[in-house]
Amino acid sequence: MATKTVTDASFQADVLDADKPVLVDFWADWCGPCKMIAPALEELSDELSEKVTIAKMDIMENPDVPGKMGVQSIPFLVLFKDGKPVAQQMGAAPKNALKGWLEGEL
């Protein structure tokens, strides 16, 4: 399962009302570290598809949700469970570190 694109308009349905945990990657096209972790997130979306949905939100095209959440630096990863943010990580990390962090939070 590939990562899912989430927008300001779809955030409520795709993230807050989701029936399983959702990891949201707040990113932008001009962000080098965001591009570095993108392949790892795609792989993790396949490996962990039964446990979590991995979503991506472009902060330049969708300023409302990141603004409300206080996103000031990217990449910024937030794990939502039952409509609430339960864990977050700022900055790029290798795939094994991202996977370990995510599995520890699920």
**19 a catalytic residue:** no
The one catalytic residue among 6, 22, 31, 71: 31
Residues 86, 66, 6, 34: is their CA dihedral positive or negative?
Answer: negative
Per-residue b or e along 71-93, where b marks 16 or more CB atoms closer than 10 Å to that residue's CB: beebbbbbbbeeeeeebebeebb
**34 a catalytic residue:** yes
The one catalytic residue among 34, 48, 52, 79: 34
Catalytic residue positions?
Answer: 31, 34
